Amino acid sequence: MPTSTMQAISCRTRKHRTLFSLVTGGIAVLALSFGAFFSPPAVAEEIRDSPRTEETSARTIDSGEDADALSNAELAGRRRMLYHRHVDAAHVAWDAEKNNFKIQVVDGATPKEADSVLVRLGPDATTDGREVSRIKLPSSNKLSFLGAPGSILWNAPAKFYQGWLPVWAGMGAGHDIPDHIDSEVIKLELMKVDGPGAATIWNGDMSEGGKAVLSSKDPSLFYILSEGGHGHFNWTFDKPGRYTFHFRASAKTIDGQTITSDPYQVIWLVGSDEELGLAPGTTSGNPIQIPAEDFDTGETDTRLGDDENTDVPVVSEEDNIAAADPPMEGRYTCAVPGHYDLAAKIGGDRSVSAAVRDDRAKEYGAYELLIPVPDSAMRTLELNSYTRALSPLGAHGSKIWVLPEVQASHLPWLGFSTESVDYSDINPQKGVRLYLDSFYGPGRMLTYDDDGINPIETVLDSRQVEYSYKFFEPTHRHTSMAFNKPGLYDLGFQYTAFFKPVEGKHDQDYAFNDVYYAVGNEEIDKFCPGWLEQYDVASPAAEANPKPTDKESEAKPKPTDKESDTSDKGKAAANVPVAPPTLTENLPAEERHEEICEPVHITRPATDEEWRALQAGKNVARATLTFNVGDVASGNASNGHFDLGPVVEGGKLALKVKDDRGQVPRWVSPSSLSFALGASARMPAPPALSSIATQGTPIWLISSVQKPGVPWLGMNSQHPGLRGATTGPVTFTLEAVRGPGKVLMFESGSLGGGIGRSLFTRSGSSFTLPANTHAHYNWVFSQPGTYTMTISARVTPTVGSPLAASSGNVTLTGKRPMVDDVIGRTPSGKDCVLPADVKARFAKHNGVQLAHTGTQVQILVGFALLALSGGGYLVWATRRRSRSGLA
């Protein structure tokens, strides 16, 4: 491969983003690689052959300051010195005034004029004292283009060190290139370097060697950039002193003309303060205990500047990914199970920031949060037509670790949010974008959408940095995240905001935040000791997504007296499969050695749950949602994020909708909204939904994954008023549904497994949502038209804390009341389980008013027979009307 066509990994190009990028936590990005990027041949050749004239070589653009006439100390007094930070020391931008390119320097994330700054490379070391400001060339001669083996050279490393030591320098191009320019092929040239020695910009490492990208030794080299592209390299200098780089940029217009900029100067100050004539203490740095002179020239460590004695995790050639540096002790927090968001914010000056925020509004900067992914999150990868997007993680049957799209109570749950962004200033065509801008770790990582109906779609891929997610409105979303190997990972996320063009203001800005992931119990014990014991994470679970608890499967409350203790044997036996029908089915029960289960009316003390329900109007809030369905459906909620959930405001319990469409979320009455599911929500019914629609016929879907043009309705138990006033999960019940077709709400199956668990199937169906949880499910409507769904939310008040609900106070006071109940007993006195309909009909016929708490405390539905010892079967007394009095 010709050296002149080499390029380091480019992060954020518009069309051609290559592999692996590296990142900082606070500011910019990129990488170090031998991968090359080739321009389209015809265009690249034309630019490569553009003449270099003496006239353009002689002209230099600056502010009128004669830098050559100033001493280093004078220059340092006039300009901002950049070190211990991210710097793009050659940033190609568009000068609208000159209608041509210009070369700037990015300070952190802010482009600045090149004549206003100095890039500073001074003595520096890691916290353990190992020098990172100079290198010793290896004896292997693999870096001979830099000098002889054993040479000591000043070097600003391409590798990122926490704190951006000594300076983390790259090159890149802005997003402001006009449309008449072919912005995929921007040629950056180093015309010359003025200084005491040679200067080389190169990529590679001590083990494998490297190649020069730009060098004062070879003026024929150039570097190809794409709009938004960005790369980090090693910047190496033979001697200490002042170095002035003369850069220029060129590109073709769409009609074939070449646009070439004037040369721009970028000045580096290299060496100690004393060597540069600066006042002592002008430049800070960590003390050096192991200088470059002491490095082993035969080292094989691929991390530039580290010798073979350092404790470096082994990375296989198969993955070829740099290992994550361990987090700094005392500087990070291990995330507890619960909800977190990586949130983008934009200041009044169009500056972008990114921070992880938990539900108590605590924020975490770059490298401050570590997310444990325990072995209980391990899943078996099953590849099929729905999960084929996960094939990069491994072969069928491989083990992967999954943080699911739906919140799991025992896992941290990281989402992404632009809810705080004021979109009135955002370019509506470009929006705000999320990238995975750097990745360190032992394996591969994917984030993906999995709605259980459509094939899984990859959102971000650690090997494909061109992937991004676009936010065109204030949005809050979650994706599934999967890792294919245990170990420590460092994921560098980047938000880029594109603004509406305004004269005098920049039209894009970006910010970064690095988050650690400790995957596997062994890694968690290493970095978060005690976490597994504290949060009771056991062996790997069998299913990928958390399953809401259906009311029929909830445990019965503990009986309060001997007479009501019917639960233990019935509960154990109710899970025994029903025996298949036999030829003796029509014989009398006595001849089939069966005992009859008969309903019996008893009176017993109320359970705590029943007591609260009796005193508090059942602690239930209700609301009716309206859905207009069809290709021409209309409504005032046709797009954006919403959540249905209980709220406690002013001591009152209500069921409201959280409307996230504005910059400030609002809890509003459901009656004020009409959800419109138009053509964007229509899709052909897949086989998995054959219960409500024939395969291929149209259905309308609110997916668990946010879709443009479709309202994204979730369920929520996170209202601040619930804290302290309630305890435990919220039970949602579909009390009534009206409409022209069928309705189904379900959660997505594991790893593209279709329907996971049906939640709302008909009136009376219910499920529970854990406390402080926000989850999205799938809502399906089989026919066009208007639907109304009346939904209730039941909460459990905190005992001893009064809560004025719809019918009064829920504090348990006074003597525990007695309630009526109907239980099953055999003629021999054994407890048995009655079907729900048998119990209800008996109660109605005999005038028994049952205590109601919204859960079937005494009823287990779905099994007609209860196995008994001795090989017999227990049957209900529904056939013997003279005994039971049933109609």
DSSP of 117-151: EEEEE---B-TTSBB-SEEE--TT-TTTTT-STT-
Rama region for 207: left / alpha / beta (φ>0; ψ in -120 to 50; rest): alpha
CA-wise closest residue to 589 among 838, 886, 868? 868
* DSSP class of 672: G
Regions of the chain with pLDDT less than 50: 1-63, 299-320, 539-594, 616-617, 802-814, 852-887
Amino acid at 113: E
pLDDT for the residue 378: 92
Q: What token pair was written down for 731?
A: 């039970």
CA-wise closest residue to 88 among 203, 199, 172? 172
pLDDT for the residue 602: 78
Q: Cα separations (Å) of 410 from 372, 478, 549, 553?
A: 10, 16, 15, 20
- Rounded to whole angstroms, how far apart are CA atoms 500 and 617? 53
Q: What token pair was written down for 843?
A: 């109660």
Report the predicted TM-score, pTM, of the whole model to 2 decimal places.
0.51
pLDDT for the residue 207: 64
Q: Cα separations (Å) of 77 from 71, 74, 82, 405?
A: 10, 5, 13, 53
pLDDT for the residue 856: 30
CA-wise closest residue to 599 among 853, 851, 858? 858
- Strand pairing class (168-173; 86-95): parallel
* DSSP class of 780: E
Decide if 89 contacts 269 (C-beta within 8 A).
no
Residue entry with tokens 């291929």 = 696
Rama region for 754: left / alpha / beta (φ>0; ψ in -120 to 50; rest): left
pLDDT for the residue 121: 98
* DSSP class of 542: S
Q: Report residue 352 CA to chain centroid gap.
A: 18
- Rounded to whole angstroms, how far apart are CA atoms 167 and 821? 75
pLDDT for the residue 610: 62
Decide if 860 contacts 578 (C-beta within 8 A).
no
Q: Kindly report the CA angle at 496 between 490 and 497, in degrees rounded to 5?
A: 155
- Concatenate the DSSP letters of all residues of 791-822 into one string: EEEEEEEPTTS---BTTB-----SSPPEEEEE
Rama region for 108: left / alpha / beta (φ>0; ψ in -120 to 50; rest): left
- Strand pairing class (234-237; 258-260): unpaired
Residue 713, strand partner residues: 642
Decide if 324 contacts 315 (C-beta within 8 A).
no
- What is the tens place of the pLDDT at every residue in 491-540? 999 999 999 988 877 788 888 899 999 999 999 999 999 999 988 655 44
- Rounded to whole angstroms, how far apart are CA atoms 409 and 774? 11
Residue entry with tokens 């409507």 = 781
* DSSP class of 455: P
Residue 477, number of CB atoms within 10 A of its CB: 20
Residue 304, number of CB atoms within 10 A of its CB: 19
Amino acid at 405: E
pLDDT for the residue 644: 96
pLDDT for the residue 287: 94
* DSSP class of 391: G
